[in-house]
Amino acid sequence: MFLVISYQKGDVLVLLNSRIIKASIGVIVVVPAWLSLSILHDNGFEGKMLVLFLLVLIWIADIAAFFSGRQWGKTKLSSNVSPGKTWEGVFGAVIAAISIAFLYALANNMQGVELAYFLMVCLVTVLASILGDLLESLMKRVSKIKDSGTLFPGHGGMSDRIDSVTAAAPFFLAGLWFTRPGILH
């Protein structure tokens, strides 16, 4: 968040010109995400369902952000970092994500405080996924590249496919541990 806000304000981030710093950021982004997904996945059927739910949650939010931003987007989210992203896209992402989270919660008989906590965890998770997307855009901008790879032509590279997940997974796991302590072992 610090890097994205600093770059948006026009602060020159000389430290991002260092390969060691960039590699360190990569480790800080990838390792917690990998651990979070592994921990979730290793919790039986429910853990596997939560991994799948997390992916669907982020994909739905990403798709909704794209379409709502395209339809109604006027207010730039972070014009220096990613000029195409808008606050209207963020609102679309949040509405879609909370809707899918609510359906998942109902299907799993969540109610009352448990439901409220789960929706809050999903909200924070989606906001983290948006920040992850912005961080990926920042790293590409600082590196002066348009795409992070060519594995998926027209999709910005492999990093653009996983940037939201890498940022969101640790928040999702931490939120579950905090709000539903007995869910994961």
For 17-66, what is each residue's pLDDT tens digit? 677 877 887 788 889 999 999 999 998 899 999 999 999 999 999 999 99
**Which has more pLDDT, 137 or 97?**
97
Q: Name the percent of the chain lying above pLDDT 70.
A: 84
Residues 57 and 133: their CA atoms lie apart, in Å, by 15
Instruction: Output phi, psi for 98, to 5 deg.
Output: -65, -35
Banded pLDDT at 160 (limits 50, 70, 90): low
Instruction: Return the domain boundaries, the chain.
Output: 2-179
Banded pLDDT at 147 (limits 50, 70, 90): low
Check whether 141 has a pLDDT greater than 50.
yes
Positive/negative CA dihedral, 5, 31, 175, 162: positive
**pLDDT score for 184:** 66
Average pLDDT over residues 6-11: 72
**pLDDT score for 156:** 45
